[in-house]
Amino acid sequence: MTTSQSSVSFTTASVGKKVLMAITGILLIGFLIVHLIGNLQLFVGQEQLNKYAETLQSLGALKWGFRLFMLILAVVHVWKGVVLWLENQRARPVGYRREDTIQASLSSRTMIYTGLLILAFVVYHLLHFTVIATNPEYAQLKDSMGRMDVYSMVITGFSNYFIAAVYLIAMFLLAYHLSHAAESFFQTMGWANEKYLPKLKFLSNVFAIIIFLGYASMPIAVLLNYVTLPGGGF
């Protein structure tokens, strides 16, 4: 055995690529959990949510460091995901005339599609609520303390049926991605076995449902008028 044979490095090897996807994926999941807890302050009220948003905005360099970190995670995850998919397309140049599926779940077989749709949504979401480019009128929303009125922005945004529908559909796709992703993480990292795997599959689905309900609760609450604009409008 000579070592010169090992020309494939960790980041390009099949198993290494998967580990990179798994680690970036789980960190993105970590963000999803923190982001959800932050956003749910919508239900506490205008003061709480705007104060929280202002605190985040005031972090300065830390904020930009965090944004850069998130960007790197997303770029690595998407890039490796696309490479993985392209290589897998090439691995079977001639397909079957008849092809059956015994146990591969639909969520596992649609990861690249749900993934790319999530990416499209993330771009829209950032333009919508972070850059405020799609609805520039939000920028005028200020609360009584002169802060950016994130509370009113969210409610105004979700009062639009079309926008609310986009968010709800995107959250469904995200949850669908996660139902395979969370379980897949443990298998890829080598922390699954025949005893744990069925339990991990179950917990992965439960987690995906929690994420969906958590995020979907906000547009739904706005649509049902459960949370309303302070003083009833602009």
Partner 1 sequence: MNLTLYVWRQKNADDKGRMEKYEARDINHHMSFLEMLDVVNEGLIQQGTEPIAFDHDCREGICGTCSLMINGRAHGPEMATTVCQLHMRHFKDGDTIYIEPWRARAFPVLKDLVVDRSAFDRIMQAGGFVSINAGGAPDANALPIAKKDADTAMDAAACIGCGACVASCKNASAMLFVAAKVSQFASLPQGHAERKQRVEKMVAQMDREGFGNCTNYYECEAACPKEISVKFIAMMNREYLMATVTR
Residues that bind ligand HEM (CB under 6 A): 18, 21-22, 25-26, 28-29, 32, 77-78, 81-82, 84-85, 111-112, 115-116, 118-119, 177, 181, 184-185, 188
In the list 84, 116, 117, 166, the residue contacting partner 1 (rule: CB under 8 A) is 84
How many CB atoms are closer than 10 A to CB 124? Answer: 16
- The amino acid that residue 226 corresponds to is Y
In the list 55, 58, 60, 97, the residue contacting partner 1 (rule: CB under 8 A) is 97
Contact between 19 and partner 1 by CB under 8 A: the answer reads yes
In the list 30, 38, 65, 190, the residue contacting partner 1 (rule: CB under 8 A) is 190
Q: What is the distance between the alpha carbons of residues 140 and 151, in angstroms, rounded to a whole number?
A: 13
Contact between 66 and partner 1 by CB under 8 A: the answer reads no
User: In Å, how far are 80, 130, 147, 167, 214 from 153, measured between CA atoms?
Assistant: 35, 11, 12, 15, 19
- Please list the residues that pair with 148 across neighbouring strands: 142
In the list 114, 152, 188, 205, the residue contacting partner 1 (rule: CB under 8 A) is 188
- Which DSSP category does 45 fall into? -
Least distance (Å) between residue 186 CB and partner 1 = 8
Contact between 199 and partner 1 by CB under 8 A: the answer reads no
HSE-up of residue 111 (Cα within 13 Å, Cβ side): 23
Least distance (Å) between residue 74 CB and ligand HEM = 7
Dihedral in degrees, nearest 10, Cα atoms 60, 65, 66, 68: 130
Contact between 183 and partner 1 by CB under 8 A: the answer reads yes
Q: What is the distance between the alpha carbons of residues 157 and 151, in angstroms, rounded to a whole number?
A: 10
Q: Which is nearer to ligand HEM, 77 or 201 (CB)?
A: 77
| Residue 27 touches which member of ligand HEM, partner 1, none, C-beta under 5-8 Å by kind | none
CA angle 130, 36, 126 (to 5 degrees): 20
- Among the listed ranges 6-14, 59-67, 70-78, 149-157, the one in contact with partner 1 (CB under 8 A) is 6-14
Q: Is 39 within 8 Å of 218 (Cβ atoms)?
A: yes
- Among the listed ranges 37-45, 83-91, 116-124, 151-159, the one in contact with partner 1 (CB under 8 A) is 83-91
Q: Is 153 within 8 Å of 138 (Cβ atoms)?
A: yes
| Residue 88 touches which member of partner 1, ligand HEM, none, C-beta under 5-8 Å by kind | partner 1
Least distance (Å) between residue 22 CB and partner 1 = 9
